[in-house]
Amino acid sequence: MKNMLFVSKLTVNKLNKKKLRSGNNADLNIKPGISKTHSPEVCLFFCFPEKKKTELCQELGLQARDLRFQHSTCLFARNNCIILRMATLKAILTPQSLMVLDFRGQGLERWLIMELAPQLASLTHTLPFEFRALEAILQHKVNTLHSRLNDVEPVILDILESLVDPKLLSADRSKLHILLQNSKSLSELETEIKVFKDSLLKILDEDEIIEELCLTKWTDPRVFEESSLGIDHAEEMELLLENFFMQAEELGNKARELKGLIDDSESVIFINLDSHRNIMMRLNLQLTMGSFSLTLFGLIGVAFGMNLTTAFEDDPRAFWLVTGFMFLGSGLIWRRLLSFLGRHLEPSVPPLIPPVWKRNLKPSDMKPGVR
Amino acid sequence: MKNMLFVSKLTVNKLNKKKLRSGNNADLNIKPGISKTHSPEVCLFFCFPEKKKTELCQELGLQARDLRFQHSTCLFARNNCIILRMATLKAILTPQSLMVLDFRGQGLERWLIMELAPQLASLTHTLPFEFRALEAILQHKVNTLHSRLNDVEPVILDILESLVDPKLLSADRSKLHILLQNSKSLSELETEIKVFKDSLLKILDEDEIIEELCLTKWTDPRVFEESSLGIDHAEEMELLLENFFMQAEELGNKARELKGLIDDSESVIFINLDSHRNIMMRLNLQLTMGSFSLTLFGLIGVAFGMNLTTAFEDDPRAFWLVTGFMFLGSGLIWRRLLSFLGRHLEPSVPPLIPPVWKRNLKPSDMKPGVR
Amino acid sequence: MKNMLFVSKLTVNKLNKKKLRSGNNADLNIKPGISKTHSPEVCLFFCFPEKKKTELCQELGLQARDLRFQHSTCLFARNNCIILRMATLKAILTPQSLMVLDFRGQGLERWLIMELAPQLASLTHTLPFEFRALEAILQHKVNTLHSRLNDVEPVILDILESLVDPKLLSADRSKLHILLQNSKSLSELETEIKVFKDSLLKILDEDEIIEELCLTKWTDPRVFEESSLGIDHAEEMELLLENFFMQAEELGNKARELKGLIDDSESVIFINLDSHRNIMMRLNLQLTMGSFSLTLFGLIGVAFGMNLTTAFEDDPRAFWLVTGFMFLGSGLIWRRLLSFLGRHLEPSVPPLIPPVWKRNLKPSDMKPGVR
Amino acid sequence: MKNMLFVSKLTVNKLNKKKLRSGNNADLNIKPGISKTHSPEVCLFFCFPEKKKTELCQELGLQARDLRFQHSTCLFARNNCIILRMATLKAILTPQSLMVLDFRGQGLERWLIMELAPQLASLTHTLPFEFRALEAILQHKVNTLHSRLNDVEPVILDILESLVDPKLLSADRSKLHILLQNSKSLSELETEIKVFKDSLLKILDEDEIIEELCLTKWTDPRVFEESSLGIDHAEEMELLLENFFMQAEELGNKARELKGLIDDSESVIFINLDSHRNIMMRLNLQLTMGSFSLTLFGLIGVAFGMNLTTAFEDDPRAFWLVTGFMFLGSGLIWRRLLSFLGRHLEPSVPPLIPPVWKRNLKPSDMKPGVR
Amino acid sequence: MKNMLFVSKLTVNKLNKKKLRSGNNADLNIKPGISKTHSPEVCLFFCFPEKKKTELCQELGLQARDLRFQHSTCLFARNNCIILRMATLKAILTPQSLMVLDFRGQGLERWLIMELAPQLASLTHTLPFEFRALEAILQHKVNTLHSRLNDVEPVILDILESLVDPKLLSADRSKLHILLQNSKSLSELETEIKVFKDSLLKILDEDEIIEELCLTKWTDPRVFEESSLGIDHAEEMELLLENFFMQAEELGNKARELKGLIDDSESVIFINLDSHRNIMMRLNLQLTMGSFSLTLFGLIGVAFGMNLTTAFEDDPRAFWLVTGFMFLGSGLIWRRLLSFLGRHLEPSVPPLIPPVWKRNLKPSDMKPGVR
């Protein structure tokens, strides 16, 4: 076990907090402290990727395939160890220690030292070490999912809020771009929540696996005595896992609602754009009617402008008559066309059509009585 | 138990009804009355948030985590207490009392004192106290869900009714805004109904949990005798929970139908807007045809208006001939174009196409016979 | 049992058929006939809402909550009675009688007297009374659902048929209104079928409940002997319920197909409307090109119409040259623009693009061989 | 059994093949041959609808309701008979014979005589008669479903292929009509496949029913001996049914894919149509800009055409100056407007927006390692 | 066994690697090497399609139907052989050998000889031969699915990236074509992943089948002893299959996300196209307003151009007054129309409408506390 970086909680607290505060996480020099792990105390190890997994397997009595961590989310017990992976966090949990593998460059350092270590060290918890560690890790996972949802949610809501603004003639297309990016993140988040939920559900469905996860129960004889005082480890483990399952379920519900909101908003955006278009088209049509009237009666003016003899050339009233006819005529025709348009757009529906659902709305239909 | 506000039902009825009527709920001064809880009588407590949960835990023999109320909806039994949370209502139910926690500022005061207290006090119920209390609380939950659906439904129906109005050229965009808000509320309501249903279903699926919820069965020896007279507590509890499950199911069905109606209406709105646009476009096209004809024949007038010699200058009939040609010509061309448009828009479908589904409609296809 | 309207089938047949034929259902005076219910004979009762349910409970040994009928569809056995509600039909079924509750004003009178009574009286059925009654009621329910689907289906098919007509430039918006109404009815029907199916499925999933529904088995000792001759009551009940479950399933499938058809048709309507619009827009664009050409070359005419000296004033050929240039020029430019449009609309796709899926179509891909 | 048409396979082969070849199926005169059904031989009967079902029931010991065939697809065992219906094919299968009911006018004659009879007669099959018959019938059902899918698929693919053609300005609306018809057939086919799958699944889920389907096992004592040689009838039956279930599953997958393809293609058609429209609208807008410029500067010409004194009347250069100004001015303004349009349509997106998902594309993200 | 091509791994390694490198797979001459299969050694056979399956059946004690390979994906055990098909790969696996059937012309040669053979020969694996072989084949299947997804994914992402580009006025329709093709491939891939997952799930759900797949357990007595040392074959098999199930699950998730992304992008494309259209339509409308103003005031010029006496003919200021009025008037009217348009497009929404969801966004709503 000598080729593994070995940090007792106390050492971490003393040595590294300052370093972390300086923001210099990249070359975090966790100096191996010498820590005697007396039985009642528990330890947090950081295992470097350079160390051979085979040695780890031999020490813990595991098989090579148990440490493959092929799937992004896994949680199972082997030979009285809990092996788990939550995205970038890979860990092995024994009754007395928690080993974190390959934690470098994953942005986990801060959490590991600033939060996980104190949490594990707190002795107020009445349950064994594996409960504390599992809870801290699952809580970290849920918090990560939650903060990702919290990152995405306000951006999406802001963008949708501005896109459904009824004053907009056209959707701001750079916002659509950002919406699409966030919508994609949301899909990925949904998948991850689903995978997390499924992996917990698989455990919750089989009591046998839950029993295996209670490591201390099988190693520490005193625990059996304690448990006779009222606490059943397997039941506690089920409650713990169920708690996180329900938290994930709530996150999943929120993500689903957000997806639904995007869809609904898109419909509204389309109706908005279509409405704008219809209004513009009606205005355009009204102007086209005006232009048509003017062109029609302007033709009279053009006719009189021809170099041909009309017999009115010298009539001083002719100019005013023809000009007045041109303007009045085109005005009248325009008005005629506009009222025609108004009639034309109103459909041939008899005005007494029954409303679609009013008649179906019986407020007394479902009155949940008092039993 | 002295650091808990302790209100017997009788005290509540006497002291506070007046206060409630004055609408002054915010600083409701529930004065602690002295109440001897003799065994057969039951009590309703209001527990203030200032009181320490740890004391409560010790009194009732619960664990700290049992009173976390992390999830918005939960219902479970621990150590002969039922702990439940329905959104803002957090309560602990023992065989003789109902404690409501953190009820301040949640708008629950009126319901607690005006409805819950009398309901619990009524002695016509043949079943033990926990049944009465659970039923009252679940009924309150279902009523809340139902009233929220009833708030949302008429607004949505009204807006849809006005949006699908075929006379509208464009959708009223402020109504769309309100529709979107209500559609979002509906989604949230659907999620809440689903969560409520799931939490009941989880209990209904495990007979063991139902047994645990029958508190009196385990504490009161007389109950066992009574139950031998025909009423099985566990079965009653199952019926009670199933009843609320089905009420929630009906609410869920209604919400789903409403969602479907919004979707269908949106399709109709789109078809409406598109139809209006097509009609306007045809009118526009017809006018453009008119303008084109006028411009084409107006060119003749322009030509004769040029300061060039045409040899017709002095022909008195030329003016009338050319003017007539202009107007008649443009009229004819327009008519030609209009009839071309009519032919062009009719697709090249042979008129004898079989209808899509008439031939599939065999009314005798499925005749559910009398067995 | 005296405060209940008590009608033997024979009485009903004699007294009321005439009244029913006169269409005067509202004030149907069912006179209480005196009917001795000797054991082998069965009876159909009509119970008025005015009668107290408490008395009914006492007579039948039921609890008050059993007769609440809170849910629109329910079917369960209590104390050797089957209590069922199918929408407006509420009934209690004992081994010898069927009591129909609150049947007034629900449009059930005709069915009850004209169909149900004779059906129950027929003695050709080899199974006990509760089978006959249950079958008649479930059949009535399925027939009601079926006739509602039959009401909605042809209307929807007709409207869709006329809406997808490719000759239509715009959708007839009053038809859309009717489509929306029927689409809403279809959704409600789907929900009702689902609720009916679920309530049957709940029974079919638990053999215990099926056993309870076989009332005669538990009361009539002779039945046990008969059943030893080959007919197992519970199995018969399962077959009966399964039969109606499958009928409801078929109705559900039909409703789902109809919904799908509405969706598909809406897509086709949208494509139709869009196609019409594109065609009109091309025509419009072509005319705009014409107008532009005419305006461009008309400008020459306008220029020559100015009161300025052009040195061509007296050239007799100038008029014809300029006029010809105007008309020919605009014609040429128009033609140029039209051919530009034709080229512009054809996309820059290399003509040798492979078809999308032809190459995937391997007809020999799935050849279900003979085993 | 005398009032049933009784045809041994040999007779069929001799008498009717010629008739069938003449295409004269309608009045197919199957002459009743006399056939002694000695035990080891099996027979195929054709039962006419005129024969009474009651007699059939008595002969086979069935109940009347077993021969109702209410549902379009059913398959169950009663009293050592298998009763099945696959759409139009209704049959009763006993250990020695297959009776086909009501086969007239259903287009089944050819299959029954040309394919089913030889298949049943073939003695190479090592399994009992009911296996051979069941397999032949289920295979016929799957083949029917498959051929219906094969009818629909190429039509849909062809139409979609031509509809998504990017060169089309508008969708050919007669093709849409055909697409809708085939889409409807596809939905019906999907429902039928689902019903077929469900009815097989119901059997596969209950071992008891599978046992019942193995008719010979219960009747023929020799079979028990044989089966001790390695073949378990129930297991064979399960494999047989599972095989057809998976074939139906594959058909269902294909149908689902086809539906998805229709949906995807519709989206592409809409984008195509919209793109065309946008292109035409831009061209239209560009021409409108040109017309506007011409009208604006044409106004100068109109002004100079007025019969008012301008002091330029006699300036010989004025004509050329004004005319040149008109044409050049409108040309310049047009160019200005076009470049304005070009800028206007480009959105105000900073050109350095990160691409939507490239950054998320980590090719090394999921590298399924070798275990 | 002589009519089967029989290649020991060593022979393959020596003879054929060179040939494969020359790319000449088509006429790959695998010379039959003579290979003594001593018990502890295992062999890879290539079985040609010309060989009769019946002989194979006799040798291995299988039934003819076991080697039908009707379904594209199957995996089951018969008579201590594992028979499997993964698309084009058909194989029979015995405790000592792997026979690959019909591998010609399927593009499998390279994988079979270059990868499968060495993998099977490696002796580092502690588990029996069937585990090694099954793992190699399933891994090959998953790799195939994965590489197909990897082929499709970047193409789709590239096309979507370019299609949602907000600068585009119209969608590039040849890209849509390619998108449609890839979308279809994705659907097929999804179906195949689902079929693969289902076939693994069917095995994982039944412990009995897993036991059957552990061939060595039943044949080799030494294995039982070994397994007592800690390795349970059935459990290992379950882990192996579960591992591949989860890999397929991840692939399925990815494919589903990609489908969702296509849908989301299509919505964005539609909004983009609609926005462009609205912007162009507004520009068009503004120009139409300009043209209308010019036409209206140009009519004055036309009026004065008529050959009629106006009494202003000789007023030298008249020209400038009328011309100025024409231009100024049309400019003013245009400005008026533009501001009208601006007001008209802004909806009649009171500016103080509450935002849709801001008020619902309670960031403190769900704060997953530390348990």
Cα D158 → chain centroid: 14
Could you give the dihedral angle defined by the CA atoms of residues E83, E86, E91 and E94, in that order, rounded to the nearest 10 degrees? -50
Least confident of C214-223, D278-287, E337-346: C214-223
Band of pLDDT at residue E139, cut at 50, 70 and 90: very high
Confidence of residue B59 (pLDDT cuts 50, 70, 90): confident
Instruction: Inform me whether the pLDDT recorded for E35 exceeds 50.
Output: no
What does the pLDDT average to over B159-183?
87
Q: Does ipTM exceed 0.85?
A: no
D270 touches chain E (CB under 8 A): yes
Q: Does B366 touch chain C (CB under 8 A)?
A: yes
C-alpha separations of D177 from B270, C164, C261 in Å: 21, 8, 13
Tokens encoding A184: 């994609």
Contact E248, E197 (CB under 8 A): yes
Residue B351, chain D, CB below 8 Å: the answer is no
Kindly tell me the burial class for residue B93, based on how many C-beta atoms sit within 10 Å of its own C-beta (0-12, 13-18, 19 or more): buried
Whole-prediction pTM value? 0.85
Residue A251 Cα distances to A258, B84, B211, B252, D285, angstroms: 11, 21, 31, 20, 49
Is residue B94's pLDDT more than 80? yes
| pLDDT tier, B170 (very low <50, low <70, confident <90, very high otherwise) | confident
Output phi, psi for B46, to 5 deg: -120, 120
User: In the prediction, which pLDDT does B362 show?
Assistant: 43
CA distance linking residue D7 with residue D47, whole number of Å = 10
Which chains contact A through at least 3 pairs of Cβ atoms less than 8 Å apart?
B, C, D, E
- Local confidence band at A367 (pLDDT 50, 70, 90 cut-offs): very low
Task: Indicate the average pLDDT of chain E.
Answer: 78
CA-based nearest residue in chain D for residue C371:
D135
Would the pLDDT of B366 be above 80?
A: no
Distance CA D304, CA D307 (A): 8
Q: Chain B contact for E369, CB < 8 A?
A: yes
Any residues with CB less than 8 A from the CB of D101 and at least 6 apart, and which? D47, D49, D67, D69, D90, D91, D92
- Cβ separation of E349 and B177 shorter than 8 Å? yes
Nearest to E283 by CA among E211, E338, E217: E338
Tell me whether residues B287 and A288 touch, CB distance under 8 A. yes
Q: Which helix (H) or strand (E) holds E81?
A: strand E81-86
Computed over every residue of chain C, the mean pLDDT equals 77
Walk across the sheet containing C73-78 and list its strands: C43-47, C97-101, C89-93, C81-86, C73-78
Q: Which residue has the tokens 């393809």?
A: D261
Could you tell me the two tokens for B319?
């003016």
Cα E185 to Cα E199: distance, rounded to the nearest angstrom: 21
Q: In chain D, what's the furthest Cα-to-Cα distance?
A: 129
| Distance, CA of C197 to CA of C216 (rounded, Å) | 25
How many residues are recorded in chain E? 371
- Asked if C281's CB is within 8 angstroms of D277's CB, the reply is yes
Statement: residue D291 has pLDDT above 90: yes
Query: Nearest by CB to E273, which of D274, D284, D363?
Result: D274
8 Å CB contact between A130 and A213: yes
pLDDT (0 to 100) of residue B51 = 58
Query: Averaged over D271-285, what is the pLDDT?
Result: 91
Q: Say yes or no for a CB contact (<8 Å) between A298 and E296.
A: no
Quote the distance between the C-alpha of residue A234 and its chain's center. Answer: 33
Whether E136 and E144 have beta carbons less than 8 Å apart is answered as: no
Angstrom distance (rounded) from CA E302 to CA D299: 9
State yes or no: pLDDT of D198 exceeds 70.
yes
Does B362 touch chain D if contact means CB atoms closer than 8 Å?
no
Q: Do D369 and A70 touch (CB under 8 A)?
A: yes
Q: What digits encode the pLDDT tens for the residues A69-81?
A: 888 899 998 888 8
- Which strands sit side by side in the sheet containing D6-7, from one edge to the other? D6-7, D43-47, D97-101, D89-93, D81-86, D73-78
Ramachandran assignment for C79, one of left (phi > 0), alpha (psi -120 to 50 degrees), beta (any other): left
Distance of CA D244 to the CA centre of its chain: 18
Alpha-carbon gap, residue D101 to D54, rounded angstroms: 13
pLDDT class of A222 with cuts at 50, 70, 90: low
Which residue in chain A is spatially nearest to E338 when comparing CA positions?
A283
CA distance D108 to D30: 14
Task: List the one residue out of C133, C123, C140, C110 whose CA is nearest residue C44.
Answer: C133
pLDDT digits (tens, 9 = 90+) for C115-171: 887 777 766 666 788 888 898 899 999 999 999 999 999 999 999 999 988 777 888
Residue A45, pLDDT score: 66
Percent of chain A at pLDDT > 90 equals 36
Question: Amino acid identity of D145?
Answer: L
Residue C117 in contact with residue C30, Cβ under 8 Å? no
Q: Is the per-residue pLDDT at C73 higher than 70?
A: yes
Residue A25 or D182, more confident? D182
Which of A127-136, A362-371, B62-71, E355-364 is predicted most confidently? A127-136
Please give the interface size between B and C, counted as residue pairs whose CB atoms are below 8 Å apart.
183
Residue C306 forms contact with B (CB below 8 Å):
yes
Q: Which of A10, A95, A97, A86 is nearest to A47 (CA)?
A: A97
| Structure-token pair, residue C329 | 């020029």
B204 has pLDDT over 50: yes
**For residue B31, what are its two tokens?**
């004065």
Q: Looking at residue C32, what is its pLDDT?
A: 36
- The residues, any chain, with a CB within 8 Å of residue B52's CB and separated by 6 or more, are B3
Dump pLDDT digits (tens) for E281-294: 999 999 999 999 99
pLDDT for D14-28, tens place per residue?
A: 334 444 343 333 333
Give kind and range of the element (H or E) at residue B160.
helix B129-163
Distance CA D66, CA D57 (A): 8
- Per CB-CB distance under 8 Å, the chain B contacts of C157 are 357-358, 361
Cα D241 to Cα C29: distance, rounded to the nearest angstrom: 59
Rounded to whole angstroms, how far apart are CA atoms A268 and B172? 11
- D349, E166: Cβ pair inside 8 Å? yes
A365 vs B52, more confident: B52
CA atoms D107, D108, D110, D111: torsion sign: positive
In C, minimum Cα distance to A369 occurs at: C70
Taking the alpha carbons of E173, E177, E179, E180 in that order, is the dihedral positive or negative?
Answer: positive
pLDDT in tens, E246-279: 999 999 999 999 999 999 999 999 999 999 999 9
User: Which one is predicted more confidently, D225 or A83?
Assistant: A83
Residue predicted with more confidence, E235 or A256: A256
More reliable by pLDDT, D11 or A180: A180
Could you report the per-residue pLDDT of A19-45, keeping only the tens digit for each? Answer: 434 333 333 333 333 233 333 445 666
Higher-pLDDT residue of D190, D122: D190
Of E305, E356, E371, which is closest to B184 when you measure between CB atoms?
E356
Q: Please determine, for residue E346, whether its predicted confidence score (pLDDT) is greater than 60.
A: yes
Cβ–Cβ < 8 Å for D358, D322: no
Give me the total of CB pairs closer than 8 Å, taking one residue from chain C and one from chain D: 182
Q: Do E356 and B68 touch (CB under 8 A)?
A: no
Q: pLDDT digits over B208-248, tens only?
A: 889 888 888 777 666 555 545 556 788 889 989 999 999 99
For chain C, where are the alpha helices, taking DSSP H only? 9-21, 53-60, 109-110, 117-121, 129-163, 173-204, 207-213, 215-219, 221-227, 233-305, 316-345
**Is pLDDT at D114 greater than 70 in this prediction?**
yes
Distances (CA, A) of C13 to C7, C18, C361: 10, 9, 67
The alpha-carbon gap from B189 to the nearest alpha carbon of chain D, in Å, equals 30
| Inter-chain CB proximity C309 and D301 less than 8 Å | no
Q: Tell me whether B349 touches chain D (CB under 8 Å).
A: yes
- B135 vs A: CB within 8 A: yes
Least confident range from B221-235, C305-319, D90-104: namely B221-235
Q: What is the mean pLDDT of residues C347-369?
A: 46
Q: Residue range E47-62: average pLDDT?
A: 72
Check pLDDT > 90 for residue E11: no
Q: What is the pLDDT of residues D24-53, one digit of tens each?
A: 333 333 333 333 333 344 566 665 555 567
In chain B, at which residue ranges do the beta strands (DSSP E only) sit? 6-7, 43-47, 73-78, 81-86, 89-93, 97-101
Tokens 């600083």 appear where? B27
Percent of chain E past pLDDT 90, that is, above it, reads 36
> Cβ contact (<8 Å) for B304 and A299?
no
Is E38's pLDDT higher than 60?
no
Task: Inform me whether the C-beta atom of residue B295 falls under 8 Å from chain A C-beta atoms.
Answer: yes
pLDDT tier for residue C262 given thresholds of 50, 70 and 90: very high
Interface probe for C, chosen from B138, B170, B249, B267 (most Cβ of C below 10 Å), is B267
CB D128 within 8 A of CB D216: yes
Note the pLDDT of residue A299. 92
